[in-house]
Structure 1
Amino acid sequence: MTTPTGEPAGDLALRRVAVPALDPESLFDVEVAHGRFRRIEPVAPRTAGEPAVELWPGYVEAHAHLALPANFDDSLDDPRLIALQYLYHGVTHLADLFGFPLVQSRWDAGRAQSAFPYPELVHCGYAATAVRDSSGRTGHGVEFPSPVFMLGTGEDLAAVLHANRERGGSFLKVMFTDGTEQPEMAVRFARLAPEVLAHTARVTREQGVPAVLDCNTREEVLAAYALGFRLFAHPVRDVELSERDWHELAGARFVSTLGGLRPMVMDRAEFLREYGRPGFRETQDGANLDFVQAVEEPFGIRYGCQDTRTAALATMRANNLAALRRGQLLVGTDCGNTGAFHGYSLLGELDLLAAAPETGGALREELRRAATVENWRFFQELAGRPATGHPLTVGDPATFNLFSAPATAHAPLSVLPDTTVVRGTTIDRPALAREIRALRASASNGKVVL
């Protein structure tokens, strides 16, 4: 099934593979021709526990920031390298929720020259946030090294939407949080005025522009939901939502983002365990391992937020699993935040979710389905396309991951796929690693300055 790097795959034929995203109780024959699925047909029942190669859609990163530096020294990896990092881990689609126009020219140039098929990408342009308030606080997002638009009045929204459309953005990212994560915390950021948020909800709905909100607290989410928002970039992190809350939030979806917050509270041993999985040394800057080797205490202790951040993570995990049970969870990492690495951290996110009290095969399948099928539908929605289809459909591009039988039954969810196929091309993972090493060995060390 392996083909030379970058060359379109010929006809592929997979016999008696499991396709849990379509039917966990059947085995399928799958055929690919000219880069598209020609046949996906159930051919036999799959008995409980029967080992079989599993075919899943490609992973989708639901919350990324390509213009933010994930490395501990604040260096930014070349977008050409970031694309390969995603491919290496079987991530075939990603949603950039903050500042992609800063790196777009480099991404596009790399894609045009690459021997590998790039992941598909959808982005918002630049995010929108609040103006400075009377206490001198700016809206969340201004503190990052990437531009944001500021909404002082409802009239500002038209200019923001137009500017992002000109930059290729197909949805709107709205920062609507005061920065509190646990009860009694001090407010950190200015927040959009209620009338501006209401205007944003009405206009985006009328224009058919998906809007993703950055919220932290139950209060923020309920207020935004009441105005019509349904897509939230993070789970609620101040309190565990009640059954009544979930009833009131019917149809809302939340991106998990445990991986973006957890590096703040990790000690040296936890860092080394987290970054010791296969794929890190092959795709990421080794200087990050040198850095965490020298960590003496978690950043949360250094900055006085260890307890509140630890509590926020526990609350987020509980709300994520509650959302998963209701079909309202999307899987994303907030990667680009320091310590949350492109591609690598999405697989780790699955482990963080599965490490919660619930265990077992059913949870594993639900999490993989969320990170593939549900995330793919989210991706289509953000791109302005119908979100009711399925990524494994006859006639559509053949993009998928294969996992060996032992991996599906016993390995952590972060295990690398055995095979990744992108639009009919089988990815040569060793060749990817060599290309990443070559970029890191170049004069730029695989870095860019924006």
Structure 2
Amino acid sequence: MKKILLLLAAVVAVLAIVLNLPTPKIADVANDNSFVIGPVNIFDGEKWRDEKFVVVHEGWITELSMQRPDLDLPYRETQGQVLMPGLIDAHVHVWGDALKQNLNFGVTTVIDMFGDPSFLKQHKAARATTSQAQNADIFGAGYLVTAPNGHGTQYGIRVPTLSDPSAAPEAVAKRLDGGSDFIKIVYTRADAVYQHAPSISYAELEATIKAAHQAQQLAVVHVADHASAMDAVKAGADGLVHSFFDRPASDELVQLMRSNGTFIIPTMALYEGMLRGELNETLLTAENIKLPASAQTSLHQSFGNTQFPPHFYDNLLLTTERLYQAGVPILAGSDAPNPGTAHGWSLLAELEMLQRVGLPLESVMHAATAAPAKAFALPHQGRIAEGMKADLLLVDTSATTNLQALFHPLAIWKNGFAL
């Protein structure tokens, strides 16, 4: 009997120690990039899925299932909120801590349309890993292709310029050797309604696009007016990285873009800042969002006192509407940090502009996830599917019908790690 009592006393002592140990919290496993999450409503970048659970292993999505899998992994229990891919900003210019700024808004990947190639090289390797990161992934053009004293040469970066069609293959090769993921070209037609800088010729445009395609690379073109956009599409551009507002898109341009499969990044939030300047203040007030001081400063900058006719804004909206209705791929891009924009925030503003044009919510979300991933052949970004990176956003259940849910993410994961 004495032995039994001693044994019971020992058991009680052990239990007391165990029960007094600190209870593990979710935060204790927040740095683990292997887990199961659910039940959730999944938007995979293309469509809503029936599956309710997602398995993440070492930062990669490995399974989507209807029932909670019986796996020895941490479980992130949710209540039917929306799980979607991290956002992709298809038009930025990044340096400094811009990749971190984007990630803080749920933008897990950016496509840089012109910058110092050394910055792109510095961050390129991170795209293929699932190590813990505080930065968005970056894909980029590196140096753009422009004329001597053309657009892009005014920012203090010594950009190699193009002044002869025969030099286009070498210009493309040097950029690809320097780490460019695609070729960006700046073009303005000689008789365009306005000239903002010297431009390469149509022959140089054609030669550069041809050289990019021969190297199996995309060629995208910066335009600012309808006539230049028409030239770029006729020359074989894979995408236009801006819209225009001097006139609405003509039927000829719309049909040519549709038949060629040319995509467009309208950057409407940027243009709204030039044409009206009401969007940022309206959204920030309505959503009660407080931005960092640097972002607020950027949003209050402007391109000067340039006055545009009121109908230019209508032209901008009508062009995007016509292109969308025709089935032209629409990609969301902010062109941050130009005046009136800020990294991360301005992609959300661009999504608001796409919705104002009339794009359904699914199409708006697609424009900032799977659409840019497909257009730029991003291998592991922009989708919730097996083999994709666990770059994820958890947003409120209202995201099935309300875009503003994206303005207030409940959780952000980069490479499977919670921010």
User: What interval of TM-score do these two structures reach, taking the shorter chain for normalisation?
Assistant: 0.7 to 0.9
From 352, 362, 365, the equivalent of 2:362 is 365
Q: 1:372: how far off?
A: 0.7
Output the amino acid matched with 1:345. Answer: S
What are the ranges of 5 or more consecutive residues in structure 2 without an aligned counterpart?
Answer: 1-24, 69-78
| Separation (CA, whole Å) in 2 of partners of 1:186 and 1:379 | 30
The answer as to whether partners of 1:26 and 1:43 remain within 8 angstroms in 2 is no
| Separation (CA, whole Å) in 1 of partners of 2:307 and 2:283 | 21
| Separation (CA, whole Å) in 1 of partners of 2:184 and 2:200 | 13
Greater radius of gyration (CA): 2
Match of 1:146 in 2: 157
From 96, 103, 116, the equivalent of 2:112 is 96
Q: 1:192: how far off?
A: 1.6
| Separation (CA, whole Å) in 1 of partners of 2:57 and 2:349 | 33
Match of 2:7 in 1: none
TM-score norm. by structure 2 comes to: 0.79
SS of the aligned residue for 2:98 comes to helix
| Separation (CA, whole Å) in 1 of partners of 2:55 and 2:105 | 23
SS of the aligned residue for 1:116 comes to coil
The answer as to whether partners of 1:66 and 1:100 remain within 8 angstroms in 2 is no
Task: Pick closer, same or farther for the CA change 1:345–1:390 going to 2, 3 Å.
Answer: closer
Task: Pick closer, same or farther for the CA change 1:89–1:379 going to 2, 3 Å.
Answer: farther
Q: 1:331: how far off?
A: 0.5
The answer as to whether partners of 2:87 and 2:108 remain within 8 angstroms in 1 is yes
SS of the aligned residue for 1:212 comes to strand
| Separation (CA, whole Å) in 1 of partners of 2:239 and 2:114 | 15
Give matches, 1:161-310, under 5 Å. 161-177=172-188, 185-250=193-258, 251-266=261-276, 271-276=280-285, 281-285=290-294, 288=297, 292=300, 303-307=305-309, 310=310
The answer as to whether partners of 2:391 and 2:415 remain within 8 angstroms in 1 is yes
Match of 1:442 in 2: none
SS of the aligned residue for 1:174 comes to strand
From 80, 83, 103, the equivalent of 1:87 is 103
Q: 1:106: how far off?
A: 7.4
Match of 2:50 in 1: 26
Give matches, 1:28-177, under 5 Å. 28-42=52-66, 52-67=80-95, 79=96, 81-101=97-117, 103-104=119-120, 116-131=133-148, 138-177=149-188
Output the amino acid matched with 1:95. Answer: I
| Separation (CA, whole Å) in 1 of partners of 2:204 and 2:87 | 35
Q: Give RMSD over aligned pairs.
A: 3.5
SS of the aligned residue for 2:371 comes to helix
The answer as to whether partners of 2:126 and 2:137 remain within 8 angstroms in 1 is no
Give a deviation string over 1:328-355, Cα, whole Å, max 9, x none. 1011011121121111110111112212
Q: 1:99: how far off?
A: 1.3
Task: Pick closer, same or farther for the CA change 1:105–1:122 going to 2, 3 Å.
Answer: closer
Match of 2:352 in 1: 351
Give a deviation string over 1:52-107, Cα, whole Å, max 9, x none. 4222111101000115xxxxxxxxxxx2x322211111111111111133645876
Match of 2:6 in 1: none
Give a deviation string over 1:375-429, Cα, whole Å, max 9, x none. 1223426xxx6x9x972221332222111113443452652321111221111xx
Q: 1:218: how far off?
A: 2.4
The answer as to whether partners of 2:399 and 2:406 remain within 8 angstroms in 1 is no
Match of 1:315 in 2: 315
Q: 1:108: how far off?
A: 8.0
| Separation (CA, whole Å) in 1 of partners of 2:375 and 2:382 | 11
The answer as to whether partners of 1:128 and 1:150 remain within 8 angstroms in 2 is yes
The answer as to whether partners of 2:120 and 2:140 remain within 8 angstroms in 1 is no
Output the amino acid matched with 1:262. Answer: E
The answer as to whether partners of 1:140 and 1:175 remain within 8 angstroms in 2 is yes
| Separation (CA, whole Å) in 2 of partners of 1:84 and 1:259 | 21
| Separation (CA, whole Å) in 2 of partners of 1:177 and 1:259 | 22
Match of 1:426 in 2: 418
TM-score norm. by structure 1 comes to: 0.74
| Separation (CA, whole Å) in 2 of partners of 1:315 and 1:407 | 29
SS of the aligned residue for 1:355 comes to helix
Match of 2:73 in 1: none
| Separation (CA, whole Å) in 1 of partners of 2:126 and 2:215 | 33
| Separation (CA, whole Å) in 2 of partners of 1:55 and 1:396 | 14
Task: Pick closer, same or farther for the CA change 1:422–1:179 going to 2, 3 Å.
Answer: farther
Q: 1:195: how far off?
A: 1.7
SS of the aligned residue for 1:330 comes to coil
| Separation (CA, whole Å) in 1 of partners of 2:249 and 2:67 | 43
Output the amino acid matched with 2:270. Answer: G
| Separation (CA, whole Å) in 2 of partners of 1:21 and 1:99 | 28
From 412, 415, 418, the equivalent of 2:404 is 412
Of structures 1 and 2, the one with the larger relative CO (CA 8 A, separation 6+) is 1
Q: 1:25: how far off?
A: 6.5
| Separation (CA, whole Å) in 1 of partners of 2:270 and 2:155 | 14
| Separation (CA, whole Å) in 2 of partners of 1:201 and 1:54 | 40
Output the amino acid matched with 2:416. Answer: G
| Separation (CA, whole Å) in 1 of partners of 2:391 and 2:237 | 31
Q: 1:178: how far off?
A: 5.2
Task: Pick closer, same or farther for the CA change 1:4–1:315 going to 2, 3 Å.
Answer: farther
| Separation (CA, whole Å) in 1 of partners of 2:273 and 2:46 | 35
SS of the aligned residue for 1:130 comes to coil
